[in-house]
Amino acid sequence: MNHDLGRLLVAGRDAHRVIGRRLEAAPGQLEVMRDFAFAWQTNSMALPVGRNRHPFRLPDGRELYGLSSRERAMLYEALGYLDPNLMFAMPGASMAGFVVDGLGNEAIREHFHAFFERGLCWTFFALSEPGVGSDTSRLQTWAYRADGGYCLRGQKYFIGNGALAALGVVFARSSEGPLGMEAFLLETSNLNGISTTPLVPSGIPGSNLAHLCFDNVFVPDSHRLGAQLKPTERLGRSVLLTFDALRPCVAAAALGVTGSLLDRAEATFPCDAAWLRKARRQLEGARGLLWQCCDDFDLGRGTGRRAGVMKAHAVALAEALALELLHRLPPAAMVEHDWLGKGWRDVKAFEYMEGTSFIHWQNAADLFRKERHVPC
C-alpha cells in the first residue's frame, strides 16, 4: 500500500485476515466484525463530521473524520488487499447512506444517523431485481399508495446484507415512466410482509447476498426519500450519484485483491521479477486513473460514463493479472495454498458489482456516438 490509509489497515493484516476467514466460514455472523479493529471507524463514516467520535488516525498523526472519494477508494483497496469479505461485512451506511444524504430531508437524515451513534449498524441497498438487474427503467417492484404511506410489492435480488441488515434503501415505482421511481428507507425490525432467502455465491460469501420479497410491506410517508424534490432530481441524487461514488471503490478493491496475490506469491514462490514489476506498474497505472476519477467527483465534475469504464477496465486488469500469475506458479500451487484459489474466486466477483463490463462499454459507446454524431 503506497498511501497512509492503506498502510494503517495493512499493518494488522494477520489479525484482519483471521476475521476474513471467520466470515468466509460463517458469513452470516456479522457480529465477528466487532473484533475488526476499524469497525467503529467505518460505522462512524455515516455521521456528520462534528458527530464522528471514531476517526481514522493515520501513522503521521492526522485524523480523518470524513473520507474524500479518493480516501474512500483507498479504504476499499486496503480491504480488498486484506480480505474482500471485510469490505462487505463492515458496518456503516455504505450505499444506502449516499441515497439518504442525497434525497432525505433533515428529519430523515437525523433519524438515519442516530442508528450509527447508538452502535454498530449494517445497511442494504435494494435496487437490483430478477430478470432486469439494476435497469431502473424496467423495475417491477411497486409502491402503492396507502393510508399514511405506501405498500411495497415485488422482489429484489443480489442484495448485499439483505437478510441481516437493520435498515436499508428500497427502490420501487409509484407510476409508469422514468419519473415514477421512488426510494424508501426501510427498517426491518418486526416488519411484516418481507421474506428473505440467502444466496450462496462462489466467492466473497461475506457479501451475504439475499433475495428479498415484499408482500404489502408498509412504509410511512416520513420514510419516502426525496418527496421535497422534483421527480427529475431524484434519480440523479440517488442511483446515479451512488454508482458514480462507489464504482471507483469496487475497482480499487479488485486491484487490492490482485495486489495481495502478487505480494503473497512473491513471498512464497520463486517468481519472475521482471513480470512482477510489469504487473505492479499496470496496477499503479489503473490506480492513478481511479484517483483522478475520484478527485473529479469531489470537484463536481461529471464522471458517470468514465467511472463505469474505469471500473470495467480495473476489474478486467485485476482478473487478467491474477490468471497470468496462476499460470506462472507451480501446477499444485492452488491446491497447496488455499489463499490462491480464494483470491481467484474473489477477484472474479467484482465483475458483477455496480454493473457488468458489457453495460459500461455499451453506455460508453452510446455516449461516444452521441457526442461524435456517429451513426449506429
Mean pLDDT by 10 residues, the chain (376 residues): 87 95 92 95 92 94 93 96 96 93 94 96 96 87 97 97 95 89 93 94 92 97 91 73 87 97 96 96 96 91 81 95 96 94 94 85 81 60
SS3 144: strand
What angle do helix axes 304-328 and 338-349 make, rounded to 10 degrees? 160
pLDDT of residue 357: 84
DSSP secondary structure of 196-222: EEE---SS-GGG-EEEEEEEEEEEEGG
Residues in CB range of 223: below 8 A, 6 or more apart: 108, 149, 184, 185, 186, 187
The Cα 153–Cα 314 span in angstroms is: 37
pLDDT of residue 376: 47
The Cα 338–Cα 312 span in angstroms is: 27
pLDDT of residue 188: 93
Grid cell, residue 225, equals 426519500
Q: How far is CA 311 from CA 204, 258, 291, in A?
A: 18, 15, 12
SS3 61: coil
Say if CB 27 and CB 11 are below 8 A apart: no
Bridge partners for 225 per DSSP: 183
Domains in the chain, CATH or no CATH each: 4-91 (no CATH), 123-229 (2.40.110.10), 233-372 (1.20.140.10)
pLDDT of residue 373: 55
